[in-house]
Amino acid sequence: METVPNNPNQIASSAPDRVGNPGLAGLNPPPAPVQKTGGLGLWLRDLLISAVASVLIITFLYQPVRVEGTSMLPRLEDRDRLFINKFVYHVSAIERGDVVVFHYPRDPEKSYIKRVIALPGDRLRIDHGVVWLNGKRQLESYVPPEYRDTRSMAEMVVPTDAYFMMGDHRSISSDSREFGPVERTLIYGKAVFVYWPTRDAGVVR
Let me know: does 126 contact 173? Beta carbons within 8 Å.
no
Closest CA to 164 of 117, 122, 132, 127: 117
Do the strands 107-118 and 162-166 form a parallel or antiparallel pair, or are they unpaired? antiparallel
E strands present in the chain: 62-66, 81-85, 99-104, 107-118, 123-127, 130-133, 136-137, 153-157, 162-166, 182-183, 187-196, 202-203
Q: Give the length of the chain.
A: 205
Measured over the CA atoms of residue 175, residue 86, residue 143 and residue 125, the dihedral's sign is positive
Of 114, 173, 176, 190, catalytic: 114
Judge whether 86 counts as a catalytic residue: no
Could you give the strand order of the β-sheet that contains 153-157, starting from the edge strand earlier in sequence?
A: 136-137, 130-133, 123-127, 153-157
Of 50, 54, 71, 171, catalytic: 71
Judge whether 71 counts as a catalytic residue: yes
**Which residues are annotated as catalytic?**
71, 114
